[in-house]
Structure 1
């Protein structure tokens, strides 16, 4: 019989029941810790035919392979690194008959990400374990072991496993490790390295037992096979996480690190990126004669190419705005010409507003972009721009600008289409939802553009839709005129 039934619950309830105390071994999965009555003689073993033995053995192998396949498929379905780390811990605990454990992700190349996750352990518990000298921990010995030489098999050149069947009976146990083990209530551990031939060592997993115990040979074989398969998946997710972090860093560097301070206006911005990295952007820059330029935009596509195109487009718009910002149509016309000549296969939407805060006057032009929203105590309305195509869609872009003035205390909200698309509603209903969210802003928040933007974001995208993985970026830029 295999271990499928134990895995269905995925984590043993209570203390592990499939452990193998060193001094009282179990045989073939049957607990031998209960001795036969003293007044009776042990029954004579019944002879079992060779075909029956072979059949039982084959059934056990099939059960084990089925379990291994199910767990490997569960691991393959994980799409996020943190999810995969917890999945490996839970599956491994079921395989070795443990209740708790921890996994330390620490790629040998030093490029990260480095993290520690626990199963049945709180953050405080993990903090206590981290106070143990690294060389005294199983994961430390695995991670700090000399790497395998090029071309050598990792299981022969590196430590394959570390079994501490009775920690508290070990006279050479580090004093701090003993103190932490007693405090957290574990008495044994079983640890495996996580490595692949291409990525090398990427981490180590340790499972903890409440009593002196160790997994039998069969369970060690199964968890070893599973760990090797899971490590390949973890290595792929680690590379993906690195790429995401690199894109996020690049995107953040290409966007304003801080908004300028301009007399007569308060600014706030909110930016939510999609999982693959999108091309939505915003900008706010001081202009000559105490003016202010506000811009939002979006380029087609996603990933590094879209992020790079976004950076080039934003940098170009800043240059055009400094030279001719008082004419938003000219700014967008120059931007369209640049896009058409340098990236003919890409299109973009953009909205640029030239603001004179002292007069609360705004001149804006849009290229295929959603209209800004004016939010005040007396009105909440869209400031319609003239209809126009996105940049790069026509041989020559041009559209008239729109001029309007705000009342004291009103906020102009610029946003990208991702805010509307993430709702999942048709565009007319999404616009209605945005208008209703803006109209519901409490009066106490009108003086704070950051709080106003947060309210709109949470109301339009409830239930965490502003942070969930999506194919759409979200940008909000709020400007409150005094």
Structure 2
């Protein structure tokens, strides 16, 4: 076998042709015929090793790859297009994920925090602030920070509006949607001294602010992100945060409208309930009411009656929204009138209320619980119409008061059910509530009752002398996420502690 170095390249076709010529014409004639014309171009090049029957001067074939040193370092045009497409897909994927997370927010505060986090990701910042000031003047005016304490936000608000980037955006016209970049606050010659002082205190050197404004939503506010070192987002980042900001503005406009509607409903509900509780000797009162987002029409009442008596009532009407609130107001006002006339007989009060509801609003039902309390005798006469039983809480007992079973008001041709007498001992508290408190737990009713009983039994001894503290403890224990949920019914709790 021939020992041929690896760097020798042989053109197979040329080799076979040369061998055939040698066989037909002889070696000398073949060599003469295949001799290259003229002087070789690479006379100074080192000679390749000679192999029997092979001429080392045979030229390289056309398809032979050139030496590695001669290969161009530039990538083919297709690779550049693929890289650009991959970058676009990555940006669109990121933008889609961030907008999906924002779309899942239903509360204004959650939406503002999500806006700050997403914007910080897009522009490469660590801290930021959003100022919500709708141009229509209907509010609310809200300031939310990312990585900034409450005191830090206060320092930023001391900077004159004309000097800060987000302040200039808030003073613009609604149609102006351009961003404001401050790549280096210290290097800029016209930076306000107060802004430099606050920036040095908070430790940031650059900012990038975008308006929260679109043609349809108008101007809602502005968002600004802060850099620890001089910097500014590149063109790609500006484009992405601009797209995200326009979507966020439209989403904030929708959430803001819902938030305003909730606020209006809660305001109407609060105005329809007692502005303050009466002072009656021998009993301490406390009430907690949290309206649901749609206004469920749950209510409570406490009114002084003749002979140093006290009327206690809780109830709810079917439906939700403004119509339910209006019905709740009418029902509560009617009950107050009946209680003044014949409050010592709770059955008669609820019978009159049922007749009124059936005649004036035949398509609506309601539940109610009314108690005629005589603090001096430590006695309460109770009557209920389809309502949850009250809870009696004391040092030696925590138990539900067994009221008579009855259908809600408006469901029977004639409502009447016997009343029950309850005798709270000194220091005991009676808790009246609506079923919205139980439904907010998300548990079946039997388990919700058990949780309410456990929450009342677990009130610390030092808090049992204050009915407000008792109500707050029950709410914290029963609803750890807070009574102001994004959805759900009203929460009503009325506590009466007998001295």
* TM bracket (short chain): 0.7 to 0.9
Is the CA contact 1:350–1:367 (under 8 Å) kept in the aligned structure 2? yes
Give the match for residue 85 of structure 1.
112
Q: Does 1:361 pair with 2:379?
A: yes
Within 5 A, what are the aligned runs for 1:108-147? 108-147=135-174
Deviation per CA, 1:282-327: give whole Å up to 9, x if none: 1000112222110001122333332232222212211221222122
Q: Does 1:329 pair with 2:341?
A: no
Is the CA contact 2:269–2:291 (under 8 Å) kept in the aligned structure 1? no
What TM-score comes out, normalization by structure 1 length? 0.84
Question: Could you tell me how far apart the structure 2 residues matched to 1:423 and 1:145 are?
Answer: 47
Is the CA contact 2:265–2:293 (under 8 Å) kept in the aligned structure 1? no
1:183 to 176, 201, 216: 201
Quickly say closer, same or farther: Cα 1:285–1:175, change in 2 above 3 A: same
Quickly say closer, same or farther: Cα 1:457–1:104, change in 2 above 3 A: closer
Question: Could you tell me how far apart the structure 2 residues matched to 1:438 and 1:472 are?
Answer: 21
Within 5 A, what are the aligned runs for 1:469-480? 469-480=486-497
Question: Could you tell me how far apart the structure 2 residues matched to 1:382 and 1:271 are?
Answer: 21
- Which moved further from structure 2: 101-110 or 206-215? 206-215
- In the TM superposition, what is the alpha-carbon distance from 1:433 to its structure 2 partner? 3.2
- In the TM superposition, what is the alpha-carbon distance from 1:238 to its structure 2 partner? 0.9
2:264 to 243, 246, 265: 246
Quickly say closer, same or farther: Cα 1:60–1:435, change in 2 above 3 A: closer
Question: Could you tell me how far apart the structure 2 residues matched to 1:404 and 1:67 are?
Answer: 63
Question: Could you tell me how far apart the structure 2 residues matched to 1:227 and 1:165 are?
Answer: 20
**Number of equivalences:** 429
Is the CA contact 1:278–1:473 (under 8 Å) kept in the aligned structure 2? yes
Deviation per CA, 1:89-148: give whole Å up to 9, x if none: 11111111222211111100011111111122111111111111111111111111133x
Is the CA contact 2:177–2:214 (under 8 Å) kept in the aligned structure 1? no
Question: Could you tell me how far apart the structure 2 residues matched to 1:328 and 1:300 are?
Answer: 22
Give the match for residue 129 of structure 2.
102
Question: Could you tell me how far apart the structure 2 residues matched to 1:439 and 1:213 are?
Answer: 59
Q: Does 1:435 pair with 2:453?
A: yes
Question: Could you tell me how far apart the structure 2 residues matched to 1:87 and 1:215 are?
Answer: 20
Give the match for residue 87 of structure 2.
60
Within 5 A, what are the aligned runs for 1:207-222? 207-222=225-240
SS of the aligned residue for 1:358 comes to: helix
- Which moved further from structure 2: 377-386 or 105-114? 377-386
Give the match for residue 199 of structure 1.
217
Deviation per CA, 1:389-437: give whole Å up to 9, x if none: 0011112222122233333333222111223223333333333333343
SS of the aligned residue for 1:136 comes to: coil
SS of the aligned residue for 1:268 comes to: strand
Question: Could you tell me how far apart the structure 2 residues matched to 1:93 and 1:264 are?
Answer: 59
Quickly say closer, same or farther: Cα 1:432–1:63, change in 2 above 3 A: closer
Question: Could you tell me how far apart the structure 2 residues matched to 1:127 and 1:249 are?
Answer: 29
2:466 to 448, 451, 459: 448
Which one has more relative contact order, counting CA pairs under 8 Å at least 6 apart? 1
Quickly say closer, same or farther: Cα 1:94–1:432, change in 2 above 3 A: closer
Quickly say closer, same or farther: Cα 1:311–1:190, change in 2 above 3 A: same
Larger radius of gyration: 2
What TM-score comes out, normalization by structure 2 length? 0.81
Q: Does 1:407 pair with 2:407?
A: no
Is the CA contact 1:418–1:473 (under 8 Å) kept in the aligned structure 2? yes
Q: CA RMSD in A?
A: 2.1
Quickly say closer, same or farther: Cα 1:218–1:379, change in 2 above 3 A: closer
SS of the aligned residue for 1:60 comes to: helix
Deviation per CA, 1:41-85: give whole Å up to 9, x if none: xxx994344333333322222222222212111111112111111
Q: Does 1:390 pair with 2:408?
A: yes
Deviation per CA, 1:368-407: give whole Å up to 9, x if none: 0112222233333322222110011112222122233333
Question: Could you tell me how far apart the structure 2 residues matched to 1:441 and 1:214 are?
Answer: 55
Q: Runs in 1 of length 4+ with deviation above 6 angstroms?
A: none
Is the CA contact 1:422–1:470 (under 8 Å) kept in the aligned structure 2? no
Deviation per CA, 1:131-183: give whole Å up to 9, x if none: 11111111111111133xxxxxx3xxx15111112211112111100111112
